[in-house]
Amino acid sequence: MRFQAHRGVNTEYPENTIIAYKAAKDQGYVIIELDPKVTADGEFVLHHDSTVNRTGRNPDGSKIEKETRVDTLTLAELKALDFGIFKDEKFAGTKIPTFAEMLDFIKKAKIAIKIDNCFQQFNDTQMDKFLSEIKNASCEELIGFTCTNPEMFARIAKEFPYAELHWDGVPNDETRKVLESSIKNNRFTIWIPYDNDYTSWFKGEHATAKNTAYVKTFAELGIWTLATMEELKGAVEFGADAMETNGELKPWMLDSIK
């Protein structure tokens, strides 16, 4: 089973930062899930929320009182903020990473990424630039794209025939045909949420014996987001090929339930 670190090892490090990604590599995870956003001047950074307020702080460490969207700030303005001290004072000075900085990191670390489906929200100009940045990095085999839109899935499969393709949720039979016909040489994983506190917000299907068995007839099965050994055991029983955790479950823990 492949272990995926949600926003890096975010239980111990500031989420969506290079140090959280480095921890994932050091701790034996093989995939890092991350969230690209676009700045006011058209650059790409890694940040989960649409606003900076939850994890961003002023340079002096104080909270940013006014609600501030990522896409209203330039890259320079975002780089001036602190994205580590919210987690712990020992991480003070941690900067928001650019997508380019992350690509450089994974090429050196040889660890795969799973780009969250939020990239589908980019407009046409942003999308073209985003995909070009990935192509120019020449590390397609380390890149995974998560889609919820069949048309975007087909585009990614065509432009990146050796990237891993991820699909969020259980597709119906009609959508399944589109997905299967789009795949080239791509590894293909379908992700279903485990029914727990982390996924209670999700209104779609959660993992069951029936839908996981259906997925495994034509794709690899991913289960998200797990935090306890009991949940890990449940994912194993579902036959998961990959699982996502926020860092509470470590790759070596799998040995204890085999």
pLDDT one digit per residue (tens) for the chain, 258 residues: 999 999 999 999 999 999 999 999 999 999 999 999 999 999 999 999 999 999 999 999 999 999 999 999 999 999 999 999 999 999 999 999 999 999 999 999 999 999 999 999 999 999 999 999 999 999 999 999 999 999 999 999 999 999 999 999 999 999 999 999 999 999 999 999 999 999 999 999 999 999 999 999 999 999 999 999 999 999 999 999 999 999 999 999 999 986
- pLDDT at residue 163, as a whole number: 98
Residue 40, CA distances (Å) to 98, 123, 144, 175 in order:
13, 13, 25, 35
| DSSP letter (8 states) at residue 43 | -
Contacts of 17 (CB under 8 A, 6+ apart): 8, 46, 83, 84, 94, 95, 96, 97
Distance CA 8, CA 125 (A): 28
- pLDDT at residue 258, as a whole number: 65
- pLDDT at residue 198, as a whole number: 94
